[in-house]
Chains A and B, each alone.
Chain A
Amino acid sequence: NAGVTQTPKFQVLKTGQSMTLQCAQDMNHNSMYWYRQDPGMGLRLIYYSASEGTTDKGEVPNGYNVSRLNKREFSLRLESAAPSQTSVYFCASSWGSEAFFGQGTRLTVV
């Protein structure tokens, strides 16, 4: 059982480049989330999707877009990367209250 799978694990971007972080879950969960984690800041919600076909902004959505492609997949896109987006990104999914996290993507924007 793979759980929540994120790709890539590591990425270095130049300022202004774009990229998409991929996330897939095999637990048949309705809800999926994207968080970023910065030192001393805990986990901050970027976007979430309560069900297939719906997405909503979280606490820090600026500079990001998301797509809930189907029930399994929830992608996060950076259209024009900025150094402030250097962070560790976690995808998560849940059915009830417990959230299950992917392994994380360490993104550096130079």
Chain B
Amino acid sequence: QKEVEQNSGPLSVPEGAIASLNCTYSDRGSQSFFWYRQYSGKSPELIMFIYSNGDKEDGRFTAQLNKASQYVSLLIRDSQPSDSATYLCAVKVRGSARQLTFGSGTQLTVLP
């Protein structure tokens, strides 16, 4: 079983809709959870992080964490064509110096 799993997509949503991106992880020692956005041909950039169970909102983005279910999600409200990118889920295990373990990413396309 992969440590961090994401649906590879592609996921297509119409402009203005809510995009829902999902991620599951296998290590119950996981402590911190991150969402990175990567435009084609570019490097990943951090858009959200969450440490505690529940929801965390930042503008149009909401991260949701459920440690009991080992599940983290990213909701993008009022999706825009500029949100079209690959979204990478990353997990940090408590006490690990290895930093982040990444999922394979979900490719999102927002249709005008």
Contact = CB atoms under 8 A, between A and B. Distances in A.
Interface of A: 31, 33, 35, 40-45, 48, 50, 56, 58, 90, 94, 97-99, 101-104
Given A42-B105, A45-B98, A101 B44 contact: yes
Contacts of A43: 44, 88, 90, 100, 102
A97 B49 contact: yes
Contacts of A42: 4, 6, 88, 102-105
Nearest to B45: A101
Q: Which of A35, A40, A50, A97 has the most CB of B within 10 A?
A: A97
A103 B98 CA distance: 21
A97 B92 contact: yes
B25 interface: no
